[in-house]
Structure 1
Amino acid sequence: MTTTIDTEAPAHGVTLTGEAAAKVTSLLEQEGRDDLRLRIAVQPGGCSGLIYQLYFDERLMDGDSTVGFDGVEVVVDRMSSPYLAGATIDFADTIEKQGFTIDNPNAGSSCACGDSFS
């Protein structure tokens, strides 16, 4: 069975800041692979109902939307796209906070830990 990838899929609406793109590029260089993409997904779970998943993926699935940012390909699956439209992924490296953050205008509320939303 052959799976066809829709290369004309609409843009997913997620933005990756320059800081986040630089960090992803650095992490990919450490991995030593050039076939990986940054995938962001929404899954059921967490104390508020939905959780974010942010990971490297080599696969493209039917219905995926991809957008490039400074050499980083960001992939969102068809089911997650409505939850993530307008979201911005950033990377902070300060005394107060280190890591990736997701500013999502679709999140009505989130838990105290910030890992889940509804």
Structure 2
Amino acid sequence: MSTATNENSTGTTSTASEELPVHEVKLTDVAAGKVRSLLEQEGRTDLRLRVAVQPGGCSGLIYQLYFDERLLDGDAVRDYDGVEVVVDKMSVPYLSGASIDFEDTISKQGFTIDNPNAGGSCACGDSFH
């Protein structure tokens, strides 16, 4: 079951049952298409893309991207043409203004995050500070 969301003038996303804050993470059209394709392959319309920042990696923080059916207290949500992106309240400041894209080239395939809040990253590119 999917929850319809709409951004309103107060900067929140409205759902049928509650008001949720809106985050400032951008999802490119290419990334949204890839997420939509993955959800269709799974046959799941009740999942959202959750983006989080967790302690770890050689630079201190790592990104987590995964599908989640839950909405937790304090989550911020934004809808990209039917693809809901959820960010937990602790990760919102770390990800404000970040952009998620999907690359499919001969040298790289996968989701990438361009984050203006990252002070630097490790050589492997999987963690940041």
After TM superposition, the score normalised by the length of structure 1 is: 0.93
Q: How does 1:1-118 map to 2 (within 5 A)?
A: 7-118=18-129
Q: Distance in 2 between matches of 1:65 and 1:87?
A: 14
Q: Over aligned residues, Cα RMSD in angstroms?
A: 1.4
Q: Give the superposition deviation at 1:11.
A: 1.5
Question: C-alpha offsets along residues 47-106 of structure 1, whole Å, 9 cap, x if unaligned?
Answer: 000000000000000100000012100000000000000000000101121100000000
Distance 2:75 2:28 in 1: 21
Q: 1:7 deviation in Å? A: 3.7
Instruction: Name the CA shift for 1:112/1:7 in 2 (closer, same or farther; >3 Å).
Output: farther
- The runs of at least 4 aligned residues of structure 1 exceeding 6 Å deviation read none
Consecutive unaligned residues of structure 1, counting only runs of 5 or more, are 1-5
**Higher relative contact order (CA closer than 8 Å, sequence separation 6+):** 1
Partner SS, residue 45 of structure 2: coil
Provide the C-alpha distance between the structure 1 equivalents of 2:86 and 2:75, rounded to a whole number of angstroms.
6
Percent identity over the alignment is: 77
Structure 1 position 8, deviation (Å): 2.5
Ranges in structure 2 where 5+ consecutive residues have no aligned partner: 1-16
> How many residues of Structure 1 are paired with residues of Structure 2 in the alignment?
114
Partners of 1:42 and 1:80 within 8 A in 2: yes
SS of 1:30 mapped into structure 2:
helix
